[in-house]
Amino acid sequence: MTSGSWLRLRATVAERGFDLDLALEAGERLAVLGPNGAGKSTLLGLLAGTVRPDSGRAELGGRVLFDLPARTWQPPHSRGIALLAQDPLLFPHLSVLENVAFGPRVNGLGRAAARARAEHWLSEVDATNLAGRRATELSGGQAQRVAIARALATEPELLLLDEPLAALDVSVAPAIRRLLARVLAGRTTLIVTHDLLDALVLADRALVLDAGSAVEDGPTEQVLQRPRTRFAARLAELNLIRGVAVADGVQAGPDLVLQGMAAEPLTTGEPAVAAFAPSAVSVYLDPPHGSPRNLVAVTVSEVEQRGGIVRVRADDHRGHKLAADVTPRAAAELDLYPGREVVFSLKATAVALYPA
């Protein structure tokens, strides 16, 4: 591994079977994926300073965070590492503005300067209008916006995100994901997540942990498209269609433009990817008339019964292998079998677009 990395961590925690060697470049955004108990929380704890390893060494921006057993140990408050958890954890006894000003204040900034910094970050997350409210008066999405501002107001050298969207309502999560994509650009970040979309939209690189060790590591898309582990393969069941960004979506062929929700602004003409879950797909025998939906003509390659649903795998003749989940009853009515020509239909709101 490179020795000039911004973050370098090597640590073992025997009790949890954790043994990891990790390097991160300045400005790199790493998604950490893995099943429960894989060591994701341990990794966050080691960096934040709440878990002490048996042995290991970590450096951030040339400063030693810990070096054990040589007994060097920086406490959490002097590490320059901010943590954004699943729960916003805003201090309930403070106002929104006081919450965001907390970091700058305890780091020695004067009252007025801390206030100005807090106002700046509240406007960055579009929450200026919440400044005077009590932290307990906010909705989940509003609170997470404020928590993002609070974490960034300390200008951390490394930002840790612990499933930042997991506790949010599905109607709110996309907006917060878009906000994170914007404010995290160029910021050294480590994101623990269960959600593939978070990894695709928020991170450049993905690391899959299993039983305390790294089992896959590489550019996010590469890890997901050529998964070597079962966990990554299961995550990768999300459908991906590559193409070029156009005015109203992603163009994946002469007659195929996928419309969707862009997580961050797309530049026309640049490579882009459309992602959607198999459960978001409806299957038709003929293209429905006058439908505003995305339609993809495919040939069924495999029909697989999986508990209560039927997984339909299909090929779109452009090199994309796609999957759809339908009910057993729909599968029977459509008479699906390998080789049958069908149409996959998708609501634009169920398709995420992002730059490739």
**Minimum CB–partner distance for residue 48 and other proteins (Å):** 6
**Minimum CB–partner distance for residue 292 and other proteins (Å):** 43
Residues that bind other proteins (CB under 8 A): 48-50, 75-83, 85, 87, 89, 91-93, 102-103, 106-107, 150-151, 154, 160
Nearer to other proteins, 85 or 202 (CB): 85
Structure-block tokens of residue 224: 């997901």
Nearer to other proteins, 136 or 225 (CB): 136
Nearer to other proteins, 52 or 77 (CB): 77
**Minimum CB–partner distance for residue 102 and other proteins (Å):** 6
**Minimum CB–partner distance for residue 80 and other proteins (Å):** 8
In whole angstroms, what is the distance from residue 22 CA to residue 222 CA?
18
In whole angstroms, what is the distance from residue 9 CA to residue 53 CA?
11
Q: Which amino acid is at 177?
A: R
**Minimum CB–partner distance for residue 55 and other proteins (Å):** 22
Longest dimension (CA), the chain: 71
Nearer to other proteins, 94 or 297 (CB): 94
Q: Which residue has the tokens 């590469």?
A: 222
Three-state SS for the chain is: CCCCCCEEEEEEEHHHCEEEEEEECCCCEEEEECCCCCCHHHHHHHHHCCCCCCEEEEEECCEEEEEECCCEECCHHHCCEEEECCCCCCCCCCEHHHHHHHHHHHCCCCHHHHHHHHHHHHHHCCCHHHCCCEHHHCCHHHHHHHHHHHHHCCCCCEEEEECCCCCCCCCCHHHHHHHHHHHHCCCCEEEECCCHHHHHHHCCEEEEEECCEEEEEEEHHHHHHCCCCHHHHHHCCCEEEEEEEECCEEEEECCEEECCEECCCCCCCCEEEEEECHHHEEEECCCCCCCCCEEEEEEEEEEEEECCEEEEEEECCCCCEEEEEECHHHHHHHCCCCCCEEEEEECHHHCEEEEC
Nearer to other proteins, 156 or 260 (CB): 156
**Minimum CB–partner distance for residue 52 and other proteins (Å):** 13
Structure-block tokens of residue 269: 């003409």
The answer to whether residues 321 and 315 touch, using CB atoms and an 8 Å cutoff, is yes
Nearer to other proteins, 59 or 162 (CB): 162
Nearer to other proteins, 133 or 318 (CB): 133
Closest C-alpha among 283, 280, 324 to residue 306: 324
**Minimum CB–partner distance for residue 106 and other proteins (Å):** 4
**Minimum CB–partner distance for residue 327 and other proteins (Å):** 37
**Minimum CB–partner distance for residue 189 and other proteins (Å):** 14
Nearer to other proteins, 50 or 72 (CB): 50
Nearer to other proteins, 43 or 256 (CB): 43
